[in-house]
Chains A and B, each alone.
Chain A
Amino acid sequence: MTEQRPDPDRLLAVLERERELATRGRLKIFFGACAGVGKTYAMLSAARQKHSEGAQVLIGIVETHGRSETAALLEGLTLLPRREVQYRGHTLTEFDLDAALAKKPPLIVVDELAHTNIEGSRHRKRWQDVEELLAAGIDVWTAVNVQHLESLNDVVGSITGIRVHETVPDRIYECADEVSLVDLPPEELQNRLKAGKVYLGDAAERAAENFFRTGNLIALRELALRRTADRVDAQMRAYRADRAIERVWQTRDRLMVCIGSSEGSETLVRNAARMASHLQAEWIAASVETPGMAGESEARRARRLQALKLADSLGAEVCTLTAVDAAQALVRFAVSRNVSKLILGRARRNLWQRLLQPSLLDRLAATEHELELVVVGLPRRKIARETPPQRLPIRWQGYVWAIFICVATTALAGLLLSVFDLANVVMVFLLAVVGVALRFGRGPGALAACLSVASFDFFFVPPRLTFTVNDTQYFFTFALMLIVALVIGQLAAKLKFEAVTAATREHRSIQQAELSRALSAALSTEQIVEIALQHLAGIFHAHISILLPDANDRVRPAHEARKDFADLAVAQWVFDHDQMAGHGTTTLPATQARYLPLRAPMRVRGVLGILPGKDTALDAPEMTRQIEICIGQIAQALERVHYVEVAQDALVTMESERLRNALLAAISHDLRTPLTGLVGMADTLAARQPHRAPEREMILGMRDTAHRLVALVTNLLDMARLQTGRIQLKRDWCAVEEIIETATRQLATQLAGHPLETHIAPDLPLCKFDPVLIERVMVNLLDNAAKYTPAGSTVWITAKLARGMLEVRVEDEGPGLPAGSEERLFTKFERGASESAQPGVGLGLAICRAIVNAHGGNITARNRPGGGACFSFRLPLGEAPDTEDMETT
């Protein structure tokens, strides 16, 4: 039983996936074996169907290829106007991504997923446009042929003999929410072709000869069917795993493909990708840099990087190892990463190569390990003659020194011969060779070895001063000397390579450490930018620009950038999408510089622009790694400073809040004291009931005005208190009936002329709010009810529970609210009737709203059905208070 329960991590992953899917648009792919099977037709028919069901469908771009039936389907559907692009004097049209994003339709149809956009478009490929549409939450329908799938590209190419350069990464296909296979038997397709329904005119025949051969079509159809079947299979497996129908297979396969610089590396990578997706396994693409590759030709290096890049785009984890022995390094790495299968290619090699250099495969086979080796035969292609590999710059001094030392040794040996035996003198030569090899490397070492042998033979081995050798045992001496010299030379060269690598690594880590030290001392964003610019330019030998977002998340260069460099639009895109773009990437590749997001743990903090110099290889693995590390450091420093600023802001806010409160308290005191005097004196005078009528009137007027002034000042001060800064609530558990009680008591005189009906639900729980402020709301509402209704009309107060909130309602029988003013009433200085005779400046309801909103509640006004106004406010109840030991004593 228990083993059938789904793994919690897996469930979490499923939830995560579902949440991601909820915000993303859904992708449906109409998948076909080749052009002409009717994908576009099927897609448009489906779109029409949707349209007729009332759904909103936008046709982003559709190529009808002049087929009238297809064009007919477009009628009645909304078409997105195409973007016009000037390209080499021609006006071309292209899918308008920005317009589509701006329109934000629920569903958009974008034909030909594999299409390559015209240069100067935002993305190089249409599938990237589609990704952006999906990310914006737009559903996309699109169409693609089997030969355009990246991992099948080779296979299809070898079947049909025609290579397609427009490819779509497999992950797009695999992540599609729905794939609809559009199938047509080969004969029918050929009939359609003959009938001119696929291409028109001469093109049709040419195409038929080349591509639409029955054999080709059958193979393509099979590929398409099988690919669809694979997908169904994978879906089934995912379904079973999610619901734990059978025990989840815990150990996952991990594959590793070893990439060299031979011609077929890309085929090898594609093979590995297919295998990995078949096995649902993670895979790693590894390449080893060895001393022998130090002088690697530019073309070979580019090929290797290209293969690594391809692997990356097909979903592999890419890494580069540095080692002297490739086989050992690969095995060690594979074991440490829990890899079960190693995939490598086998190129055909001639006899000579096989004898001299054991292949990686042979060496791997000779190494002890438990890995499964999968060997992929690589096709042999006509290879254009390569430029000979570039060697390390030859240091002539080394050779000159070698000759010089040999001469000196010969002279020394001549002197020594008078004292020592010939067998010992040989050792002097050996010493010289070792010395030269150690100091000047392999080449000079080998030269020294040859020269030493020759000189030994010529000058010392009898017969002297000829190369003739009488005693055959000297041949053994020569051979030994030569071998020792060469072996030592080789060793020395390896040593040197490792020393150089170590030095480079150390140099890099020193640079990194310096950057990190400088960044950790930085206290402001400006400092970080300055430090980053200074250090990065040195590390990458490139122009650097840093762009930071402003308050509205628009990125701006944070320093004086070169004018031709900072491309704000690209940087903004990078910032918004958290993906790199620009030079060397597939998004906006026409841009001069490359832009990378400065991604910190919480969010993207800015954009780094790199304008590479002439010999900066941004794609070299070690460079990529270095860039990543630097970016991480800068982003984290930016985030740290950001939070320091936030904390400082909070301090400043607190201080200003304190000041404001002190100020308000002072003003409040200073205003209230004279008012108290005024009101009191007026009251006293009025209470004495002066006999003369005009005097009495004046005194009464004075008293009323004073009272009004009090109300006004109270309101103004309250509003000031509520408006400036945060409202500080002193929440307590309160009974709303007490608030109603005190409010009505306070307004006893105003409400004297109105019958008051109070309905309080009997089982009303306590509610957590600030009693003084809520009383103020109640007083204001009741005061309004008294002020704006004729004497004798009833006022109702109701308190009850409504949808988990406390609702209090004040209703009256007055003239009601002017239609349409229900919302406006709550704004400041707004009153029901603009020139009302009633005193007041219309702050009362604004105060009510501010208070209720601060409690997380809401307040509304409406007219009662039977006439009169109804104001009601709702407050959240809060968690029930603890009443455990209320009656313990």
Chain B
Amino acid sequence: MTSNTHRILIIEDDPVIRRFIRSSLEDEGCEVYEADTAARGLIEAGTRQPTLLILDLGLPDRDGREVIQDIRTWSQMPIIVLSARTQEHEKVAALDAGADDYLVKPFGVSELLARVRAQFRRNAAPGRDDLPVFSFGEITVDIPQHRITRQGEEIHLTPIEYRLLAALIRNHGRVLTHRQLMIDAWGPGYAERTHYLRIYMKQLREKLEHNPAQPQFLLTETGVGYRLQS
């Protein structure tokens, strides 16, 4: 977030929250726009062309999920949603609709900045989707060749494990819901069998993580899904 200026749009109905998000992001050198309703927010998003959107899910005029779906029809900009802690299904719905990450209210400034930076980093990677080689930690993944190595040493993955990893790599830095991962790795008929996912994630961690009990890259988002953090 250093050289080029980022334009950030905040859609949030509480002025105090808007205010502190704005000031902390401006401290980081971002250009910040505000909107207090979904209708206003969509207009702002269309005219200002922000590079990142922070969206509150509890807007007075429209459901946050609809706003996301609306924006996803014309833009792939990263979206971070703000939600109440206990409403897991709301978060999952927002992520399924196309949001990239979420923050639980009340959150600290440091948490907010970390998430924002992560999204910028992800976008900054040149041609991120068709990158031939992806690496995290000691692991290198050669995508065209389906080859995974740790410090040059090859690691064997089953087809499902590979598909799972590939889905996470394609969306690294984003939170992927259980549903999205199940559909990517097994196909649409398996969306409800989340225990498959748990078993395979465990295997994947055992193969790729240094300490599977305290993973550094393949992270769990309780009740929501997983995320690959590079």
By a beta-carbon cutoff of 8 Å, the part of chain A in contact with chain B is 665, 668-669, 672-681, 683-684, 687-688, 707, 710, 714, 717, 721, 730, 732-735, 737-742, 744-745, 756, 758, 760, 766, 771-772, 775, 881-883, 886-887, 889
Query: B80-114 toward A: CB 8 Å interface, digit per residue (1/0)?
Result: 00001111100000000000000001111110100
Chain A nearest Cβ from B105, distance in angstroms: 4
Cα A672 to Cα B29 in complex, Å, equals 28
Q: Give the most central of A674, A684, A740: most B CB within 10 Å.
A: A684
Q: Is the CB of A687 within 8 A of B27?
A: yes
- Please indicate the chain B residues that have their CB under 8 angstroms from the CB of A721 in the complex: 86
Q: What are 9 sample pairs from A and B whose C-beta atoms fall under 8 A apart? A: A672-B85, A677-B20, A737-B202, A738-B222, A756-B214, A766-B195, A772-B223, A883-B196, A886-B199
Of A672, A734, A886, the residue contacting B84 (CB under 8 A) is A672
Tell me whether chain A's interface is mostly helix, strand or loop, or mixed: helix
Of B106, B158, B219, B222, the residue contacting A739 (CB under 8 A) is B222
Q: Is the CB of A684 within 8 A of B23?
A: yes
Cβ-based interface call for B21 (8 A): yes
Please report which residues of chain B, range 5-26, place their CB below 8 angstroms from some CB of chain A when the two chains form the complex.
14, 16-17, 19-21, 23-24
Cβ-based interface call for B33 (8 A): no
- Please indicate the chain A residues that have their CB under 8 angstroms from the CB of B88 in the complex: 730, 772
Q: Is the CB of A676 within 8 A of B14?
A: yes
Question: Do A883 and B199 contact each other (CB < 8 Å), given the known contacts A721-B86, A741-B214?
Answer: yes
Cα A745 to Cα B108 in complex, Å, equals 15
Q: Is the CB of A771 within 8 A of B223?
A: yes
Cα A760 to Cα B211 in complex, Å, equals 12
Question: Do A734 and B198 contact each other (CB < 8 Å), given the known contacts A668-B84, A669-B84?
Answer: yes
Cα A683 to Cα B103 in complex, Å, equals 16
Q: Is the CB of B202 within 8 A of A735?
A: yes
Q: Is the CB of B222 within 8 A of A679?
A: no
Cβ-based interface call for B132 (8 A): no
- Please indicate the chain A residues that have their CB under 8 angstroms from the CB of B109 in the complex: 680, 683-684, 687
- Please indicate the chain A residues that have their CB under 8 angstroms from the CB of B202 in the complex: 735, 737
Cβ-based interface call for B187 (8 A): yes
Q: Is the CB of B199 within 8 A of A714?
A: no
Q: Is the CB of A733 within 8 A of B14?
A: no
- Please indicate the chain B residues that have their CB under 8 angstroms from the CB of A668 in the complex: 84, 86
Closest B residue by C-beta to A732? B194
Q: Is the CB of A680 within 8 A of B24?
A: yes
Cβ-based interface call for B160 (8 A): yes
Q: Is the CB of A738 within 8 A of B220?
A: yes
- Please indicate the chain B residues that have their CB under 8 angstroms from the CB of A681 in the complex: 16, 19-20
- Please indicate the chain A residues that have their CB under 8 angstroms from the CB of B220 in the complex: 738, 741-742
Q: Is the CB of A680 within 8 A of B20?
A: yes
Cα A627 to Cα B120 in complex, Å, equals 86
Q: Is the CB of B17 within 8 A of A677?
A: yes
Cα A737 to Cα B21 in complex, Å, equals 34
Q: Give the most central of A674, A677, A740, A760: most B CB within 10 Å.
A: A677
Query: B145-169 toward A: CB 8 Å interface, digit per residue (1/0)?
Result: 0000000000000111000000000
Q: Is the CB of B20 within 8 A of A684?
A: yes
The list of the 3 closest CB pairs from A to B, nearest first, reads A677-B16, A733-B195, A680-B20
- Please indicate the chain B residues that have their CB under 8 angstroms from the CB of A735 in the complex: 198-199, 201-202
- Please indicate the chain A residues that have their CB under 8 angstroms from the CB of B196 in the complex: 883, 886
Cβ-based interface call for B134 (8 A): no
Q: Is the CB of A737 within 8 A of B212?
A: yes
Of A665, A683, A760, A887, the residue contacting B20 (CB under 8 A) is A683
Q: Is the CB of A676 within 8 A of B27?
A: no
Chain B nearest Cβ from A680, distance in angstroms: 4
Q: Is the CB of B21 within 8 A of A680?
A: yes
Question: Do A758 and B213 contact each other (CB < 8 Å), given the known contacts A680-B108, A733-B194?
Answer: yes
Cα A738 to Cα B209 in complex, Å, equals 13
- Please indicate the chain B residues that have their CB under 8 angstroms from the CB of A687 in the complex: 24, 27, 109-110
- Please indicate the chain A residues that have their CB under 8 angstroms from the CB of B70 in the complex: none
Closest A residue by C-beta to B187? A889
Q: Is the CB of B222 within 8 A of A680?
A: no
Cα A735 to Cα B212 in complex, Å, equals 12
Chain B nearest Cβ from A235, distance in angstroms: 56
Q: Is the CB of A741 within 8 A of B213?
A: yes
Please report which residues of chain B, range 196-230, place their CB below 8 angstroms from some CB of chain A when the two chains form the complex.
196, 198-202, 212-215, 219-223
Closest A residue by C-beta to B196? A886
- Please indicate the chain B residues that have their CB under 8 angstroms from the CB of A742 in the complex: 219-222
Cα A36 to Cα B158 in complex, Å, equals 91
Q: Give the most central of B87, B198, B219: most A CB within 10 Å.
A: B198
Extra contacts, 6 of them, besides A677-B20, A737-B212, A741-B220 (Cβ < 8 A), are A673-B14, A673-B58, A675-B105, A742-B219, A771-B222, A886-B200
Question: Do A680 and B107 contact each other (CB < 8 Å), given the known contacts A668-B84, A741-B215, A883-B199?
Answer: yes
Chain B nearest Cβ from A728, distance in angstroms: 11
Q: Is the CB of A889 within 8 A of B186?
A: yes
Q: Is the CB of A680 within 8 A of B86?
A: no
Question: Do A677 and B14 contact each other (CB < 8 Å), given the known contacts A672-B106, A889-B186?
Answer: yes
